Amino acid sequence: MKKNDNYHHGNLRQALIDAAFDVVVELGRDAVSLRELANTLNVSRGAPYRHFPDKDSLLAAVASKGFILMSETLEPLESRLGTDLSVTEIGKAFLEFAEGKPLLFQVMFDPGLMLQAVPDSEFGEALEAVYNRVSALVKSRLQIEDEMQLKQQMVAMWSTLYGYAHLRHAEMLKPYMVAGVAKDEIEKAVLTTAFSWTGKSRIEKCV
């Protein structure tokens, strides 16, 4: 029987993104196949290509969904501004997301896919929205008024946290590097370093 190209749910593009997202989370990017997704969704093999010319364009859409999900995890932190929220909790939310969905995290920060995160694109807008949300939290918590200083802080934070998450995912932290040091102690050191450029007195005051 010929498969129906008119996706019965009415939105094949979103269905492809959602299905590919689930595959990435469970099995990683290499397990994503446009043909297999077509079979799963009961459409012709050519139907997915009407929405995504290749696998990377679909993975970029998956990465966009990942950043939207990451952005949503920041809502509880925003609700705590003005209370006892520590600046390191902002960074910890990033690390927890990376550890909870490591295969998705790899796709979200894939260097090749990042080339598609251009202004006005779905991917670019999702990435920028997360950046702006985190930036607002950091600015409020550290009380940084100078925009150039805020940008420096954000680059330092993203670089440190991403670097640590990548090392952990790639199993590059060898036993001789971390033997005898508890995981929470390592994370504390990483989180403190991510914000340490602002000065010891400020970081001690804000954590």
Distance between CA atoms of residues 117 and 99, nearest Å: 23
Q: Are 146 and 197 in contact (CB under 8 A)?
A: no
Residues 60-114 pLDDT 10s: 999 999 999 999 999 999 998 877 888 899 999 999 999 999 999 999 999 999 9
CA gap 67, 57 in Å, rounded:
16
What's the whole-model pTM score?
A: 0.88
What residue has token string 């696998």? 55
d(CA 116, CA 56): 9
Domains of the chain: 8-52 (1.10.10), 59-206 (1.10.357)
Contact 106, 29 (CB under 8 A): yes
**SS3 annotation, 110-129:** CHHHHCCCCCCCHHHHHHHH
Instruction: Give CA–CA dist 165/186, Å, rounded.
Output: 12
- For all residues of the chain together, what is the average pLDDT? 90
Q: Is the pLDDT of residue 204 over 70?
A: no
Spatial distance between the Cα atoms of 153 and 197, rounded to a whole number of angstroms: 7
Tokens of 85: 């929220």
Q: What is the pLDDT of residue 199?
A: 46
Confidence of residue 16 (pLDDT cuts 50, 70, 90): very high
List, for residues 29-60, the tens digit of each pLDDT value: 999 999 999 999 999 999 999 999 999 999 99
The values of phi and psi at residue 7, to 5°, are -55, 130
pLDDT higher for 82 or 25?
25
* pLDDT confidence of residue 82: 76
Single-letter amino acid code for the residue at 1:
M
> Which pLDDT score, from 0 to 100, does residue 36 have?
96
What are the pLDDT digits (tens) for 154-197?
999 999 999 999 999 999 999 999 999 999 999 999 999 999 87
**Closest to 58 (Cα-Cα) out of 35, 32, 22, 25:** 32
pLDDT at 4: 52
- Cα gap 37→59, rounded to integer Å: 13
What integer pLDDT is reported at residue 40 of this predicted model?
95
The predicted pLDDT at position 6 comes to: 53
Judged against a pLDDT cut of 50, whether residue 2 lies above it is answered with no
pLDDT at 203: 47
Query: Is pLDDT at 1 greater than 50 in this prediction?
Result: no
- In residues, how long is the chain? 207
pLDDT at 138 over 90: yes
pLDDT > 80? residue 7:
no
Q: Which residues contact 123 (CB under 8 A, 6 or more apart)?
A: 60, 61, 63, 64, 67, 113, 116, 117
